[in-house]
Amino acid sequence: MLDAPEKTTAWLTDDEVRLLDAHWRAANYLAVGQIYLMANPLLTEPLRPEHVKPRLLGHWGTTPGLNLVHTHLNRVIKARDQDALCVWGPGHGGPAVLANSWLEGSYSETYPDVSRDAPGMGRLFRQFSFPGGVPSHVAPETPGSIHEGGELGYSLSHAYGAALDHPDLLVACVIGDGEAETGPLATSWHSNKFLDPVHDGAVLPILHLNGYKIANPTVLARLPESELDDLLRGYGHAPLHVAGDDPATVHRALAQAMDTALDRIAMIQRAARHDGAAERPRWPVIVLRTPKGWTGPAEVDSLPVEGTWRSHQVPLPAVRQNPEHLRQLESWMRSYGPQQLFDEQGRPRPEVLACVPQGAKRLGATPYANGGLRLRELPMPPLERYAVPVEGPGRTTHEPTRVLGDLLEEVMRATAGSRNFRLLGADETASNRLQAVYGASGKAWQEQQLPVDEDLDRHGRVMEILSEHTCQGWLEGYLLTGRHGLFASYEAFAHIVDSMVNQHIKWLRVTRRLPWRASIASLNYLLTSHVWRQDHNGFSHQDPGFVDHILNKSPEVVRVYLPPDTNTLLSTADHVLRSRDYVNVVVAGKQPCFDWLTLDEANAHCARGAGIWHWAGNEDGTREPDVVLASAGDVPTQETLAAVRLLRTHLPELAVRMVNVVDLARLLPQEEHPHGMSGADYDALFTRDKPVIFAYHGYPWLIHRLAYRRAGHGHLHVRGYKEIGTTTTPFDMVVRNDLDRYRLVMDVIDRVPGLAVRAAPVRQLMEDARLRHHVWIREHGRDLPEVADWSWAR
């Protein structure tokens, strides 16, 4: 616990309180104005209904608290000349952050038409939640923001991600007591076990207990204070409490708490950086209890509003229609004393701005929150150094992710000085066979270490916690502040962050349209331990649907790759790690996989995204093939090539083409996705009228959803995962889902016109092979030697 200094009431001079309060009142005035007014911003005339917006939208309840925190952050930033960023968890209180940005001038610098004067104030008010204006939340459009406050749960992990490898940065993070009830937030408190006081900056959580959510009290606000303290200490923090509803008292208490917290942080960092202290520090947390909707109407229509959930959105709902509401609004706004706060031109008076820091220290102007400005190229090694030698297709095998791990080790090593790359995973880095990276960096860990432990490192840049939410939040925060990273996950469990990646994609979609936002590194997923190889775990671990989820989102942002072997994985990884402003999903296995392409071939194939593998098929080039076998994904590619071999052995006169697709969006029309193929290109690969048997890694209907506009769609037959799984052998998994080589050959026979009768004996052979499989595995518990040891080269 921190010892509180004695003389609380004397923490600030009366004059300091007066100046802070002026700033806070100005911000509150500007926030109310945004929610309500479309004219008469300075209340230079009596308020009339037509000054009020016809639709009243926004969230007042959290706003005065956010304004208070912003005011006090201004004070300490200026006093200490501190680089700082703030993550506003209750970002639905957008008016607060917009008001502060306008006050400090960063808003007008970003949007010159919203000038810091009366016309600009008018525009600030009108545009808020207005058609063609700005969103009601803290959003990409908001200067200084890296966090949309709409979907709750991710503020604290974002804050930690921003602080990693930014030793001089203070990241304040306001956590609403509503958000604190979410699972992702509840576990992200433990991020302090992964924050290195030497190389990382500091996170100052400010738990804002205003007592209510939309319609209910909050769990944390109703805990006895001692129980809440237990919880926060159990999370590894030292709590500082600030509570009250008298502004002067609260200003003093909050100023004291912030100074105490920042002094404590400075001490912790000094101890770690200069004195070599190795014990995990107990970082401060501020608990701020102020009324919901503070300074707003105490009662409306005879019901209590200030201090209750009724102030969550718009406390006076009928201002245009109800003269009493109109009167209350005017009295509320005038209570802040706008004429004392703004001069005749509507400019903030100097005393209002006394606490505001200068230039890039301002929260709305910090380059940390426009991370692309600080982004440095990732030093990618030459792929030749890691490419596996391929003397011919299918002669050798490698574990693709293991080889990728070797490459990532060099990336990790090359960024040892710049510290701008992190690898993240939910306790699965080694399980996903990327453990070579430990040669260049251990795993971040600030807790106790035991002799039996391996690869833990107080300064490590590999991040592992058994929480996909936390990994995702850390990575988003890290990327948004100008660094690089990769999240490796079991394929099925990527769905855990479906909703988080939604928000990140939306963020990127908007920022791509904002010229002042610099490009950031892409968010890269490596999905491995995939659906076809869950030998240890079975059905619960089998879900290839993350790709479907991603491909529903903005095409300008999303990319999906399924490299079929080791060298194509290297080529893909190189591409995605160099890319900007995308969410890239790479699906690749960790189990031994045949090598099909040399590095040069892999690079060419990945650059095309989809192409014919001439060495596999037997077209003579004079005419179209009889059938196209296509694949996407490592296991489907293996089965498809095995099927091609069976066809060439048993039906040598059949002209077979083999197509492999790495970049799934290639299948979309070019009008639908930047990577989409033209109709002519598609037809050149797949033909317009020949049967196409497509073996796909995931849910088969995804391929139809991508290709339904193609001329040859009626001839497209897709095999994939049909949600049939259990703990069984690898080949049994493909058989159960009708993706096995024998079934693919049968599909060809069933679909190539005129083949059914002629090839009936071959079809019978295939059925026999499937039957032999079924009998064998139940007897022997492993796959038939002929499929387990199969190779194209034999």
Binders of a second copy in range 374-433 (CB under 8 A)? 427-431
Closest distance between a second copy and the C-beta of residue 15, in Å?
36
Query: HEC states along 309-369?
Result: HHHCCCCCCCCCCCHHHHHHHHHHHHCCCHHHHECCCCCECCCCCCCCCCHHHCCCCCHHH
Cα(171)–Cα(713) distance, integer angstroms: 52
Of the pair 344, 498, the CB lying nearest a second copy is at 498
Q: Does 325 bind a second copy (CB under 8 A)?
A: no
Within a 10 A sphere around the Cβ of 788, how many other Cβ atoms?
A: 11
* Amino acid at the residue 236: G
Closest distance between a second copy and the C-beta of residue 538, in Å?
5
Cα(716)–Cα(367) distance, integer angstroms: 50
Q: Does 574 bind a second copy (CB under 8 A)?
A: no
Residue 425 and residue 464 in contact, taking contact as beta carbons nearer than 8 Å: yes
Cα(423)–Cα(681) distance, integer angstroms: 37
- What binding mask, one character per residue, do residues 724-753 give for a second copy by CB under 8 A, x or -? --xxxx--x---------------------
Closest distance between a second copy and the C-beta of residue 725, in Å?
8
Q: Does 464 bind a second copy (CB under 8 A)?
A: yes
Distances (CA, A) of 791 to 327, 635, 641, 655, 785: 83, 13, 9, 21, 11
Of the pair 163, 492, the CB lying nearest a second copy is at 492
Q: Does 687 bind a second copy (CB under 8 A)?
A: no
Q: Does 133 bind a second copy (CB under 8 A)?
A: yes
Q: Does 772 bind a second copy (CB under 8 A)?
A: no
Q: Does 227 bind a second copy (CB under 8 A)?
A: yes
Q: Does 595 bind a second copy (CB under 8 A)?
A: no
Residue whose token pair is 């080791």: 566
Of the pair 99, 597, the CB lying nearest a second copy is at 99
Cα(704)–Cα(714) distance, integer angstroms: 10
487-526: contacts with a second copy (CB under 8 A): 492-493, 495-496, 498-499, 502-503, 506, 509-510
Of the pair 441, 729, the CB lying nearest a second copy is at 729
Closest distance between a second copy and the C-beta of residue 135, in Å?
5
Q: Does 214 bind a second copy (CB under 8 A)?
A: yes
Interface residue with a second copy, options 46, 49, 119, 234 (CB under 8 A): 234
Write the DSSP symbol of residue 420.
-
137-196: contacts with a second copy (CB under 8 A): 137, 139, 148-153, 178-179, 181-188, 190, 193
Dig out the tokens for 41 from the structure.
Answer: 């911003």
Closest distance between a second copy and the C-beta of residue 723, in Å?
5
Of the pair 119, 217, the CB lying nearest a second copy is at 217
Dig out the tokens for 785 from the structure.
Answer: 């030697």
| Contacts (Cβ under 8 Å, ≥6 apart) of 202 | 163, 169, 170, 171, 195, 265, 268, 269, 283
Interface residue with a second copy, options 4, 46, 49, 57 (CB under 8 A): 57
Residue 477 and residue 159 in contact, taking contact as beta carbons nearer than 8 Å: yes
Cα(785)–Cα(684) distance, integer angstroms: 38
Closest distance between a second copy and the C-beta of residue 672, in Å?
9
Of the pair 349, 549, the CB lying nearest a second copy is at 549
Q: Does 450 bind a second copy (CB under 8 A)?
A: yes
Phi then psi dihedrals of residue 505, to 5 deg: -65, -40
Of the pair 433, 645, the CB lying nearest a second copy is at 433
Closest distance between a second copy and the C-beta of residue 360, in Å?
28
> How many residues line the site for a second copy (CB under 8 A)?
123
Q: Which stretch binds a second copy (CB under 8 A): 23-31, 124-132, 371-379, 481-489?
A: 124-132
Q: Does 459 bind a second copy (CB under 8 A)?
A: no
Interface residue with a second copy, options 608, 704, 751, 772 (CB under 8 A): 704
Q: Does 129 bind a second copy (CB under 8 A)?
A: yes
Interface residue with a second copy, options 106, 108, 136, 638 (CB under 8 A): 136
Distances (CA, A) of 485 to 423, 583, 635, 707: 6, 12, 27, 32
343-372: contacts with a second copy (CB under 8 A): none
Interface residue with a second copy, options 335, 701, 751, 791 (CB under 8 A): 701
Q: Which stretch binds a second copy (CB under 8 A): 125-133, 341-349, 622-630, 745-753?
A: 125-133
Q: Does 229 bind a second copy (CB under 8 A)?
A: yes
Cα(411)–Cα(152) distance, integer angstroms: 34
Q: Does 530 bind a second copy (CB under 8 A)?
A: no
Q: Which stretch binds a second copy (CB under 8 A): 212-220, 261-269, 567-575, 601-609?
A: 212-220
Dig out the tokens for 278 from the structure.
Answer: 């190795």
Closest distance between a second copy and the C-beta of residue 352, in Å?
28
643-682: contacts with a second copy (CB under 8 A): none
Q: Which of 767, 771, 765, 773 is nearest to 790 (CA)?
A: 773
Residue 265 and residue 191 in contact, taking contact as beta carbons nearer than 8 Å: no
User: Which alpha helices (DSSP H) does 665-722 contain, by range?
Assistant: 679-686, 701-707
282-321: contacts with a second copy (CB under 8 A): 304, 307-308, 313
Exposure b/e, 269-295, CB count within 10 A at least 16 = b: beebeeeebeebbbbbbbbbbbbbbbb
Phi then psi dihedrals of residue 704, to 5 deg: -65, -40
Interface residue with a second copy, options 223, 238, 318, 383 (CB under 8 A): 223
DSSP string, 584-602: EEEE---S-EE----HHHH
DSSP string, 600-640: HHHHHHHHHSEEE-TTT----SSS--SEEEEEESHHHHHHH
Closest distance between a second copy and the C-beta of residue 244, in Å?
17
